[in-house]
Amino acid sequence: MQNYSLIQKLLHDIVLSQKIINKSLFELEKIIFFKKKDIKNKSHIFITGLPRSGTTSLLNFIYSSDEFASLKYSNMPFILSPNFSKLFIKKNALKKERLHLDGITHDLNSPEAFDEVFFNNDKQFVKNELVNYLILILLSENKDRYLSKNNLNYKRIDLISSILPNSIFLIPIREPLQHSYSLLKQHMHFNKLQKKNDFIRRYMNYLSHNEFGLNHKAWNDPVNFHDLNNINYWIEQWSLFYEKILKNYQPYKNCFFIIYEELSNTNHIQKLLKKINLDKEEKLNLNYFKNSNKKVDIDFDINTYQNALNIYKKFTNSISLL
């Protein structure tokens, strides 16, 4: 997005800022491309939770099995019309590092978190059209299972499960100090990027990527810490978020908690593959994940961190993760 031409920026602004345009293209897409397909009882996968917890790595790893359809960069900005978007000739640029500067690369064929454009409509529309929308995505890649990474889907696990009863939700959890420090760094990084280039801010807003940057939205109302440039704000947000996740979704048989620090353990990955019904181990690099945790040299409130650490230990000690 950083190197988009003026025409590309204008097209994104027009299409993504107006729901009526997206919905109109969606209706046109159904007329031209829709075919009946029995997908309701397939085990589609939804990766969700806080960013910076390994969600993108999980997405890329599972997608590399070639068993799933997902929205890709090539679908932008026509997110609600994945088949229509294929009609546009796009140069398949070489892989480049994403704006996060975290070593993760992408090109036009890389999957990404775009389906919030669909979910960011009224609940009745989502109820009526989710199956149709997923069918269109699956038809565009000739697949039977859908794979999504959407950090906001934790809010609608019940809704998605009521429509797609065999869906699987993967919720990664990362050590709280490491995770909070990563969130803080990204927030400060995107503040700078968005001040220099307002299109980056608009682009992220269109996709509801308000996790960090100038338009950051807290996951929960802050209690003791309100300064976004203070790591204690992010540690407190971590605690508030995962405390609710643990309380609300621990009993759910279709929700699997994935410890970020365990992703570099191949035995853990093999268990994960069984849980998500993916018998394609020969296609996958089981050593794909790298633990990027580093020493955090920053002052933080010890009581706030200890509270977060206690929650983290509940996930690691008290739950059969996989």
Cβ contact 110:123 at 8 Å: no
End-to-end CA distance of the chain, in Å?
A: 37
At 143, give phi and psi (nearest 5°).
Answer: -125, 170
pLDDT of residue 253: 93
pTM listed for this prediction:
0.94
Cβ contact 138:42 at 8 Å: no
pLDDT of residue 90: 64
Reading the chain (322 residues) residue by residue, the pLDDT tens digits are 567 888 888 989 899 988 899 999 999 999 999 999 999 999 999 999 999 999 999 999 999 999 999 999 999 999 999 999 988 766 656 787 788 877 778 888 899 989 999 999 999 999 999 999 999 999 999 999 999 999 999 999 999 999 999 999 999 999 999 999 999 999 999 999 999 999 999 999 999 999 999 999 999 999 999 999 999 999 999 999 999 999 999 999 999 999 999 998 888 899 899 999 998 777 788 888 888 888 899 999 999 999 999 999 999 886 555 5
Walk me through the domains of the chain, giving residue ranges and CATH numbers.
6-318 (3.40.50)
Cα–Cα dist 133/149, whole Å: 16
